[in-house]
Structure 1
Amino acid sequence: MLNRRSFLGSAALAGGLAALPDAALAGLPPEVPLPSPDLHARDEDAYWAALRRQFLIPADVVNLNVGTVGSSPRPVLKAIFDGYEQTEQMTQAKSEDYPIWGYDRWDEYRRPFADFMGARVDQLALLRNCTEANSYIANGFDMKAGDEVLISDEEHGSGEMPWMLRSRRYGIVVRKFAMPKPPKDAAEILSRINDAITTRTRIIFVSHVSTTTGVVLPIREIAALARAKGIVTAVDGAHVPGMMAVDLNALGCDLYTGSMHKWLFAPKGTGFLYLRDEAIMDRVWSTIVTGGYDNPDRKADRYMQIGSSCIPTLMGLNAAVALAGQIGMDRIEQRGRMLADYIHAQMLERGAQSWTSPDPALRCAIVTVNVPPVSRMELQDWLWTNHKVRVRGGEPSKLRLATPYFLSKADIDRFLTLFDRFRAMKGMA
């Protein structure tokens, strides 16, 4: 019978990798037991250190850039490997089960994630990433030339560019409001949105957590403001799954997108589109289609009719959801906030300018600071090349520091020490 050892061994030989050590051909590293849930109450540091060992990230690597991409832990990787081993035997029970993977509802993979996000399974489509989901909205939302979409000036390229493409092709208007840097409270953000709305505004598209600053926008209030004016609300939640507890149906927005490969540590190639009800589904055309896309009975599943899918990836998603549920999203969110508050305070002591809101309700596990005259790219390259510390930011001097639950204060202190050393080396201290 095919197993991971023989499968990987064959793959390595086919790829010219026969020189790999035998341990590498044996598949995944040995399983590491998950910590007992009651360890957290007895020894919190030991609990998080035990979870750190679930990740294959070497012990000397500090990853402060989960905001770009996370690392799948052992239970997720095991689910993916086992999924390939199972499915590639081509012994599925029904004659239509394989290889026609792109045409089913896949409720067994949608439902756990829907429950995790506070949605019904028929409101959720599992896609390949947040970019794809955002493009569904921008390309498919019913608009005509001259209609306006209102976005912030902090949207990620995968949120902004689909609207810019729609504008170039079909003449819709993209309007932007400026986010305060930093916003002092939710009312300041709401005021700027309200002032930017016109009689032609048909949809408001904003991020739940800004990729630029880490600010958590008041989505519930934005959705209420929009609904009162007959405007649809769409939210880019790329950073939310696995960072913050969320109840999509309680938020009140009409559309919501996201990625699971960042903070939830699910496999790469996992994203989703949430559509609140049938009325909004009727206003968003499917723009990647195959048979079944036009069947209204399928509800959100219509947006999954894109052709063949990678089922082992969805098995990995289930494992990621299960792990987050076992740890507890309240515990994860509290941990991320605590670490973010710590690094934020330490950077302010070093004279950094904060773009992260002083309002605790408007921040979570991403801190953004401006540190002129430090060159962000020079610092970023120096940290990684010489010290295996990974950060990201923006030109010329902005740093975005992400604090996933597996980080320790010692990891953060290592970054801070290196930041001080870099400034001293450049004569900036």
Structure 2
Amino acid sequence: MLDRRSFLGSAAAMSAVTPVSAQALAPISLTSVPLPAASLRDTNPDAYWKALRAQFLIPDDVVNLNVGTVGSSPRPVLKAIFDGFETTEQMTQAGSEEYPIWGYGSWDQYRKPFADFMGAKVEQMAILRNCTEANSYVANGFDMKVGDEVLISDEEHGSGEMPWMLRSRRYGVVVKTFAMPKPPRDAAEILNRINDAITPKTRIIFVSHISTSTGVILPAKQIAALARSKGIISAFDGAHAPGMIKVDLNDIGCDLYTGSMHKWLFATKGTGFLYLRDKSVMDRVWNTVATGGYDDPTRMADRYMQIGSSCIPTLMGLNAAIDFANAIGMDRIEARNRMLTDYIHAEMTKRGAESWTSPDPALRGAIATVNVPGVQRMELQDWLWTNHKVRIRGGNPSKLRLATPYFLSKADIDRFLSLFDDYRKMKGIS
């Protein structure tokens, strides 16, 4: 076994014999690949989307139907992150008190592009580290007393549900759950279930904008209006929304909204956000992470960003992700996402799968969830990845969640469908 001195000596000797050039160390993600011409979108859309696929480092033989868990950042985003580290780590910032840390400034140059992208104002937007952190801010900070109720659905992600369960265990807040239809026939069916579950003690409705379990797009604007009509705060977990569908937060009219940028927007891992509609809402949500500036009401949403040192290059990557999405156009991205999901949804239902997303295309975005009795989800998931480099996810025993980002092709989906057919034949499942 080498001691530290011997190891350093041998490492120095190796580097002397095998010099490594800076070019050889350059990450492949910095290799520039030209973006397709905008004119190609109309003249040859298949070629356009295929060319965009080259912006992602995912190998050609990999089919990723699990963007619902985490997305892959394209080359321009990765370059912005790496360039950000290179510049910030030189420690040559102009001001004597300026350092490459995050936690004390308002960082409007990163907040405003994202606020614009989401239909919000900069003073309404706090950039945090993930949706879990933002959900915890809401659940732990919203002003409630013992016996007050929060109404959630039975399809909330653990990061949306567990902060409320913690609040319940510590402080006696009541978590009340309504059952989502599987599948919902229309938006009214969801609204009726929420309305029926409201009681005089309901203080806040907290639901996903897009269900991580089934991919259903809930009628957020109508839910917010229903809550407002009854004097109840409306809050949405929007982990799947940014980059999947076009979102206008001020048009939705909700009080609180949280989310992630690392899924469908393909931004840096470690980026999330908290939207707060106005001062009347902010006055009801306490900071649960505090440092200097947390209690300054003039800072508006910025005061929820006072979390101590963090990582500026992640925010540089976020800006690049917004630029990338805007260059394509969210209308086009959403239309492409929906088209691919409608296709895979129709093909799976032809094969006898039960739709848990919705038969109503308006309630589907880029996730189709189906139940296929007889298929063991985890066994299929492992078989697809280990043997065929196809990623899916779902829930036991037989639920499959199929996410369709815009860079996929119909050929990618057909490959999955063919393998799914092969698996059922191999297992003798009719």
**TM class, shorter-length:** over 0.9
1:246 aligns with 2:214: no
2:6 alignment counterpart: none
Aligned mates of 1:356, 1:182 — CA distance in 2: 6
Superposed CA deviations along residues 117-151 of structure 1, whole A, max 9, x for unmatched, are 00000000000000000000000000000000000
2:5 alignment counterpart: none
Matches within 5 A, 1:11-410: 25-29=25-29, 30-410=31-411
State the 1:27 CA deviation.
2.5
* Secondary structure of the corresponding residue to residue 321 of structure 1: helix
State the 1:99 CA deviation.
4.8
Superposed CA deviations along residues 60-104 of structure 1, whole A, max 9, x for unmatched, are 000000000000000000000100011000000111111553200
State the 1:239 CA deviation.
0.2
Contact 2:117 2:322 (C-alpha < 8 Å) held by counterparts: yes
2:413 alignment counterpart: 412
Superposed CA deviations along residues 36-80 of structure 1, whole A, max 9, x for unmatched, are 111110100110011000000000000000000000000000000
Contact 2:342 2:361 (C-alpha < 8 Å) held by counterparts: no
Aligned mates of 2:357, 2:70 — CA distance in 1: 21
Unaligned runs of at least 5 residues, structure 1: 1-12
Structure 1 consecutive aligned stretches of length 4 or more whose deviation exceeds 6 Å: 16-23
Kindly provide the amino acid, as one letter, of the partner of residue 211 in structure 2: S
Aligned mates of 2:83, 2:241 — CA distance in 1: 28
Aligned mates of 1:21, 1:158 — CA distance in 2: 44
Aligned mates of 1:280, 1:297 — CA distance in 2: 14
Aligned mates of 2:354, 2:189 — CA distance in 1: 19
Aligned mates of 2:177, 2:97 — CA distance in 1: 48
* Secondary structure of the corresponding residue to residue 337 of structure 1: helix
Contact 1:205 1:236 (C-alpha < 8 Å) held by counterparts: yes
Aligned mates of 1:34, 1:63 — CA distance in 2: 21
Contact 2:227 2:234 (C-alpha < 8 Å) held by counterparts: yes
* Secondary structure of the corresponding residue to residue 28 of structure 2: coil
Kindly provide the amino acid, as one letter, of the partner of residue 371 in structure 1: V
Superposed CA deviations along residues 169-196 of structure 1, whole A, max 9, x for unmatched, are 0000000000000000111001000000
State the 1:361 CA deviation.
1.5
- Does the C-alpha gap of structure 1 residues 24 and 52 become closer, same or farther in structure 2, counting only changes over 3 Å? farther
Superposed CA deviations along residues 227-265 of structure 1, whole A, max 9, x for unmatched, are 010000000000000000010000011000000000000
- Does the C-alpha gap of structure 1 residues 282 and 385 become closer, same or farther in structure 2, counting only changes over 3 Å? same
Identical columns (%): 77
State the 1:428 CA deviation.
1.0
Aligned mates of 1:99, 1:262 — CA distance in 2: 25
- Does the C-alpha gap of structure 1 residues 24 and 411 become closer, same or farther in structure 2, counting only changes over 3 Å? farther
Contact 1:83 1:311 (C-alpha < 8 Å) held by counterparts: yes
CA RMSD across the alignment: 1.7
State the 1:356 CA deviation.
1.4
Contact 2:100 2:311 (C-alpha < 8 Å) held by counterparts: no
Contact 2:130 2:270 (C-alpha < 8 Å) held by counterparts: yes
1:5 alignment counterpart: none
Aligned mates of 1:197, 1:84 — CA distance in 2: 49
Contact 1:28 1:78 (C-alpha < 8 Å) held by counterparts: no
Contact 2:377 2:398 (C-alpha < 8 Å) held by counterparts: yes
* Secondary structure of the corresponding residue to residue 341 of structure 1: helix
* Secondary structure of the corresponding residue to residue 233 of structure 1: strand
1:424 alignment counterpart: 425
Aligned mates of 1:386, 1:25 — CA distance in 2: 31
Kindly provide the amino acid, as one letter, of the partner of residue 26 in structure 2: A
State the 1:24 CA deviation.
5.7
- Does the C-alpha gap of structure 1 residues 17 and 410 become closer, same or farther in structure 2, counting only changes over 3 Å? farther
State the 1:218 CA deviation.
0.3
Contact 2:88 2:100 (C-alpha < 8 Å) held by counterparts: no
* Range moving further from structure 2, 146-155 or 93-102: 93-102
TM-score normalised over the length of structure 2: 0.95
State the 1:20 CA deviation.
12
Aligned mates of 1:196, 1:427 — CA distance in 2: 43
Contact 1:147 1:202 (C-alpha < 8 Å) held by counterparts: yes
Unaligned runs of at least 5 residues, structure 2: 1-10
